[in-house]
A and B are shown apart, each in its own frame.
Chain A
Amino acid sequence: MNESKIEEVEKQYRQFIGRKMVFILFSLILTFVIAGIAATLGSYPVTVTEVYSILWHGIPQIITNFDLHFITSHGIDAFFRELFTMKEYIVWELRLPRILLGLLAGIGLAIAGTTMQAILRNPLASPFTLGISAGAGFGATLAIIPGIVVAGGEYFIIANAFVFSLIPTFVIIGLTRYRRATPETMILAGIAMFYIFEGMTTLLRYFAMPKEEAEVFHWLVGTLGKASWDGILPISIIVGVCFPPLVWKSWDLNVMGAGDEVAKSLGVNVERIRVYILLIASLLTAGIICFTGIIGFIGLVAPHICRMIIGGDNRFLIPASGLFGAALLLGADTLARTMVSMVLPVGAVTYFLGGPMFLYLILRRRREYW
């Protein structure tokens, strides 16, 4: 009797894990489907099946004709123009970068949000509440209005946004040298940084010329429209480098969910992990939003939705919310491009579509916490 009960529990546990795997698979397929649909959007008609076929056949073509020397001297654009037919060129050069940017940004922002919520044990933690987005916004504004830049050249706004978005994190980590790295201290410090940078940005914009003001405004609303292969490469490196250590520490993140004391007694160096994860998640966010502008909400909402569906085990939650975040961002961008006759910025669309969806989920959830 008792033995069969144990077997029953074991079976239930395996089914529980199975359900999580199914959800991850579902998110993966969803992302692929949305990506396929997104690739058909634009003035040149391409069908979904054509898109997949072009991508599938394009890869061996690129590999066999790969010429690093030509690409570095003439650019990827020229390489594709030489290699592909018109239709293929449109998919590879014009549409794929936007989709890849959406994918990578969705994955990165969602897992940054998931891990920040875990280390701070707070359902409101996101790149926004920790001042990272505000820092990036200030960096970009500083580059556009008074023209103060950390690096010259073509990418000065990106460089500025990247450097300034990391300042709030370094200030928060600096504070933990004087105060213990508790979630409360870190969140309050993050909110303080948010206001400081928002204040400075507002002040700069107050004195800006209408043309500069318009440029700042466009940067701050976040879009995937600036996507190009030149941006995809650094972002994929950042996402690729930051993802493994976050998953690697997912077990520690689970344990930290039980509180600092318990986590310490289970052998986790709580303060050190908190600083380490915050640093990686900030780097990830910074690397993305400096290219896209400020895209909020994905980092807050994707982890919550996934937690409602598969529970709080970070070993599954991190990959799941990454994929779901990618689907969410790509889906929002696709809607932003099709809802009305003009293309809307995805940054704003994620707010007004994500908000009601989130409210609906709050009403539907079974429990009173996350």
Chain B
Amino acid sequence: MKLEVKGLEYRYSSTDVPVLRDVSIELGESELLGVVGPNGAGKSTLLRCIDRILIPQKGCIMLDGRDIREISRIELARRIGYIPQDSSHVFPATVFDTVLMGRRPHLGWRSSERDTAKVLETLKLLNIEDLAMRDINELSGGQRQKVFIARSLTQEPELLLLDEPTSNLDIRHQLEVMEIVKRVIRERGISAIMAIHDLNLAARYSDRIIMMNGGSIYAEGKPSSVLNAENIRHVYGVEAKLGIHEERPYILPVRVCVNR
């Protein structure tokens, strides 16, 4: 799988200022790309454009050299999995049935033994078998996040898009979720783009990071080169101290800058 995004521009309505401005990224096989930036920088919008949930006004997105506008929605669903921040269900749905939804792009209106087996396999992979018959709305945020990841994995995509996978999670769940993501990327050779607020998690798990500001890319590269005091001060307006642990930076925010 190879993803190329070129000159992307997106505005929610024609009069608004663009949320994304001339965004270009490339992503290769088995790569985890972290997308960081302050609120409103365009991280979620970028992910939604890549999955064609939103249609950008300018620019193009190529999946293995093909423009995604020429790929049918169903084929796109077989190749790209999207994990939203959190979504609520109005009506009851069991965890099992929710994960089974991931098979939707691969089947007609009936599910087969094979689909059931895939669901069971994924539940086991994420260690959430015990939740199988529970209702999705009764779960904690962390459990629900795992269920959404499970749903995407039964989809068997080549590219995973994760929107804030660790928001609302305690530190244990944060690490669990990130380890799972890292593991499936390695084991299944898939790639992932992850929008994330937590700079320390981004630094620790990303192969590469892009830092966005006001809808465009401000910096791009290895975690150690992108996450420096200068960039953080400029983009977030925050004074930070940085250290190195196991060759990766960690960030300690100190204070808000009064004048950037």
Give chain A's interface residues, CB within 8 Å of chain B: 2, 5-6, 8-10, 12-13, 16, 117-118, 121-123, 247-252, 254-255, 257-259, 261-262, 264-269, 307, 311-313, 315, 367, 369-370
> B252 to chain A: which residues have CB within 8 Å?
none
> Are A262 and B87 neighbours in the complex by a CB distance under 8 Å?
yes
* Contact indicator A367/B135 (Cβ below 8 Å): yes
Residue B29, interface by CB 8 Å: no
Q: Report Cα–Cα, A330/B101, bound state, in Å.
A: 35
Contact of B52 among A12, A252, A264, A370 (CB under 8 A): A264
Give the distance in Å from the alpha carbon of A315 to the alpha carbon of B93 in the complex.
12
**Interface-facing stretch out of B78-86, B182-190, B206-214:** B78-86
Give 27 A-B contacts (CB < 8 Å), ordered by A residue. Answer: A6-B120, A6-B124, A8-B129, A9-B129, A12-B132, A12-B133, A13-B132, A123-B90, A251-B107, A251-B108, A251-B109, A257-B90, A257-B93, A259-B88, A261-B48, A261-B53, A262-B87, A265-B81, A267-B73, A267-B76, A267-B78, A267-B104, A267-B105, A311-B97, A369-B89, A369-B92, A369-B137
Q: Which residues of B contact A121 (CB under 8 A)?
A: 90-91
> In the complex the two chains form, is A254's CB within 8 Å of B97's CB?
yes
Report the separation of the CA atoms of residues A269 and B72 in the bound assembly, to the nearest whole angstrom.
10
Chain A residues whose C-beta falls within 8 Å of the C-beta of B135 in the assembled complex: 367
User: Closest CB of chain B to A266's CB: distance in Å?
Assistant: 5
- Nearest neighbor of A261 in chain B, beta-carbon distance: B53
Chain B contacts for A258, CB-based, 8 A: 87, 89, 93, 98, 101
Q: Is the interface of A mostly helix, strand, loop or mixed?
A: helix
- Of A248, A254, A259, which one neighbours B87 at CB under 8 angstroms? A259
B92 neighbours in A (Cβ, 8 Å): 307, 311-312, 367, 369-370
User: Cβ of B70 < 8 Å from any Cβ of A?
Assistant: no
Q: How close is B77's CB to chain A, nearest CB, in angstroms?
A: 3
Please state if A9 and B82 are interface contacts (CB–CB under 8 Å). Answer: no
Given known contacts A258-B87, A370-B91, what 8 new A-B pairs fall within 8 Å (CB)? A9-B123, A9-B133, A10-B116, A16-B96, A117-B91, A259-B89, A267-B73, A313-B97
With A266-B105, A266-B155 as given contacts, are A122 and B90 in contact (CB-CB < 8 Å)? yes
| C-alpha spacing A312/B101, complex, angstroms | 13
Q: Given A12-B133, A13-B132 in contact, is the A265-B53 Cβ separation under 8 Å?
A: yes
State how many angstroms separate the Cβ of B211 from the closest Cβ of chain A.
25
Residue of A nearest to B152 (CB): A265
Assess the B137–A266 pair: CB atoms within 8 A: no
Nearest chain A CB to B210 CB, angstrom units: 21
Known A251-B104, A261-B84, A264-B73; contact A6-B129, beta-carbon cutoff 8 A: yes
* A3, closest chain B residue (CB): B124
Within B188-234, which residues are at the interface with A (CB < 8 Å)? Answer: none
- Note all chain B residues with C-beta closer than 8 A to A10: 116, 120
A135 to chain B, nearest CB (A): 26
Q: How many Å from the CB of B26 to the closest CB on chain A?
A: 22
Q: Which residue of B lies closest to A250 (CB)?
A: B109
Inter-chain contact B94/A311, CB cutoff 8 Å: yes
The minimal Cβ–Cβ distance linking A35 to chain B, given in whole angstroms, is 30
The 0/1 profile, CB within 8 Å of A marked 1, for residues 44-63 of chain B is 00001001110000000000
Chain A residues contacting B104 (CB-CB under 8 Å) are 251-252, 255, 266-268
A267 touches B77 (CB 8 A): yes
Give the residues in chain B near A313, CB-CB below 8 Å.
Answer: 93, 97
**What is the CA–CA distance of A308 and B221 in the complex, to the nearest angstrom?**
52
Q: Which of A16, A257, A262 contacts B133 (CB 8 A)?
A: A16
Complexed CA–CA distance, A266 and B76 (Å): 8
List of B residues within 8 angstroms of A122 by Cβ: 90
Which residues of B sit under 8 angstroms from A2, Cβ to Cβ? 124
The verdict on A265 contacting B82 (CB below 8 Å), with A10-B116, A258-B89, A367-B138 known, is yes
Closest 8 pairs between A and B when the two form their complex, measured CB to CB: A267-B77, A265-B82, A312-B91, A267-B74, A267-B105, A259-B87, A312-B92, A9-B132
Tell me the nearest residue of chain A to B161, going by C-beta: A265
Q: Is the C-beta of B34 less than 8 angstroms from some C-beta in chain A? A: no
**Which residues of chain A have C-beta atoms less than 8 A from B142's C-beta?**
none
Residues of A within 8 A of B78 (CB): 267
* Nearest CB on A from B228, distance (A): 34
Find chain B residues with CB under 8 A from A118 CB: 91
Nearest CB in chain B to that of A122: its residue: B90
Residue of A with least CB distance to B91: A312
Contact assessment for A257 and B91 in the assembled complex, using a CB-CB cutoff below 8 Å: yes
Q: Which residues of A contact B89 (CB under 8 A)?
A: 257-259, 312, 369
For the complex, give the distance between the alpha carbons of A248 and B120 in Å: 25
Minimum CB distance partner of B75 in chain A: A267
When C-beta atoms are compared, the residue in chain B nearest to A118 turns out to be B91
Q: Which residue of A lies closest to B111 (CB)?
A: A251
Of all chain A residues, the one with the shortest Cβ separation from B109 is A251
CB distance from A314 to the nearest CB of B (A): 9
Q: Does B102 belong to the interface (CB within 8 Å)?
A: yes
Quick one: given A10-B116, A118-B91, are A266 and B96 in contact (CB under 8 Å)? no
Given A9-B96, A255-B104, A266-B77, A248-B90 contact (CB < 8 Å): no
A255 touching B101, Cβ below 8 Å: yes
Question: Whole-angstrom distance between the alpha carbons of A305 and B15 in the complex?
Answer: 46
A313 vs B109: C-alpha distance when bound (angstroms): 12
Q: How far is the CB of B246 from chain A (nearest CB, A)?
A: 31
